[in-house]
Structure formats: structure tokens, C-alpha cells
Amino acid sequence: MTDLVLSQLTDVFRIGLIVGLVFMMHRTAAVTGRVLPLALGVLFLAVMLPATMPNPAVSFTDAIVAGLISNTIILAPVLGVGWLILRSRR
């Protein structure tokens, strides 16, 4: 499980999707809020990526759980950088 999480943490595609998720969350926060879109986006990415790019060596459930963990870990610094960018623009 640790190797799976570490491999997902270095997945450039996953990082790019989470950056896009945070960008869109900031743009639509007035209408949709902040927490629900982020939570649903993290869940969606955790399910979508293993479903579209299956790994026969890993069970689907393990891939989803590892995806939730790695997405949450990636989301924290991306939110921090997004917050710093917004603060510097004011």
C-alpha cells in the first residue's frame, strides 16, 4: 500500500488534475462553495484514475483507498499555494 501511495504522489497527471480542481474551486466558490467541490473532486479522481488505467497487480479497492490518501496529501500544498497566490494579488 505504501508503494502504491508513493507512486500516486509522483503521478504528474494526478497532480495536474488536482491543481485544476483547486483552480476551478476558487473560480466557482461563490456559487458552489469550497468544501463540497473539493471533497467530491478528490473522490472522483480517486475512483476515475484506477477505473480508466487499471493495474492488474493492485485490487480496485486498494487503488481507490490509496488514491484518496494521495489526493488528500497532494491537495494540502496545492491549497496552500493557491491561498498564497490569492493573498499576493490583494
Residue 55 has a pLDDT of 84
Q: Are 21 and 45 in contact (CB under 8 A)?
A: yes
For 42-61, how does the pLDDT look when each residue is reduced to its tens digit (9 = 90+)?
999 999 999 998 888 899 99
The total number of structural domains that make up the chain: 1
| Band of residue 88 on the pLDDT scale cut at 50, 70, 90 | very high
Q: What is the CA angle 81-70-30, rounded to 5?
A: 45
Residue 89 has a pLDDT of 86
Residue 16 has a pLDDT of 95
Q: Which domain holds residue 66?
A: 2-89
Taking each helix axis from N to C end, the angle separating 60-89 and 35-52, rounded to the nearest 10 degrees, works out to 140
Q: Are 74 and 46 in contact (CB under 8 A)?
A: no
Amino acid at 27: R
Please provide the distance, in angstroms rounded to a whole number, between the alpha carbons at the two ends of the chain.
Answer: 42
Q: What is the pTM of this model?
A: 0.89
